[in-house]
Structure 1
Amino acid sequence: MDQTFVKDLLVRGVIGISDRERQQPQDILINLVFFTDISQAAISDDIQDCANYRDISKRVFALAETANTYTVEALCARIAALCLAEPNVKGVRVRVEKPGAVRFSRSVGCEIERFNP
């Protein structure tokens, strides 16, 4: 299976369980890997035959910016569902991180893989 990816999409949104985390947006770092078949796109050179990472990234950005989730797990699952709704995406790996959320760590987060049946 071929892969197309989006690396380090930085979004500001409300995510977390404490009152402090719920009061103002914080950085959310998102990485996506789309499992797809690029055979037709490589021949046609047509965006319609691709997993359109630009359009998907815009939708993921809007979702993460407004989701107001309590957990990275919930946001991760919502992003995966959004990506799997795309016609050329057969599967997706989603990684959601909260940089600086835990003292003395660079980042914490969740990573999942989901596939269409």
Structure 2
Amino acid sequence: MDIIFLQEVKVETRLGVPEWERMRPQTIVLDIELAMPHSRSCQTDAIEDTIDYGCIVARIRETLAEESFKLVEALAEHVCQLILTEFGTPWVKVKVGKPGILPGLKQLGVIIERGKKAV
């Protein structure tokens, strides 16, 4: 399986359980791995034969700017489903990090993996 990875993608969104925490956007950090549906791009060197990671980042930033989440788990699920449904990957792994939210803690977050269900 060929995997595209996007590391330390910084995104602004509204996230947190207390209402005051969702009043202003905050920066979260995403690490994303996604399976390429095929490996044609390795032979053709053509962008149309792969998943355009620039489009993925732009779409994630767009949707997270519009949304508000209480839990990092729900945000991670949202990102996974967006990538699975809009970009045609059969598998995705998303790590969501919320930096500096607690004293003495670099960041907290979740890692989830999702795949398309066989039809």
TM-score by length of 1: 0.92
| Distance in 2 of aligned mates of 1:3 and 1:39 | 10
Task: Tell me the equivalent position of 1:92.
Answer: 92
The runs of at least 4 aligned residues of structure 1 exceeding 4 Å deviation read none
| Distance in 2 of aligned mates of 1:40 and 1:74 | 33
Q: What one-letter code is carried by the residue in structure 1 that aligns with 2:73?
A: E
Over the residues paired in the alignment, what is the CA RMSD in angstroms? Answer: 1.2
What aligned pairs does 1:1-117 form with structure 2 within 5 A after superposition? 1-37=1-37, 39-85=39-85, 86-87=87-88, 89-117=89-117
1:36 CA displacement: 1.8
1:48 CA displacement: 1.4
Q: What is the aligned-residue identity percentage?
A: 28
Residue by residue over 1:49-100, the C-alpha shift from the partner in whole angstroms, topping out at 9 and shown as x without a partner, is: 112111011101112222111111111001000110112x110000111101
Other structure's SS at 1:14 match: strand
Other structure's SS at 1:20 match: helix
Other structure's SS at 1:13 match: strand
Length, aligned pairs only: 116
| Distance in 1 of aligned mates of 2:29 and 2:64 | 10
Gaps of 5+ in 2: none
1:31 CA displacement: 1.1
Gaps of 5+ in 1: none
1:38 CA displacement: 5.0
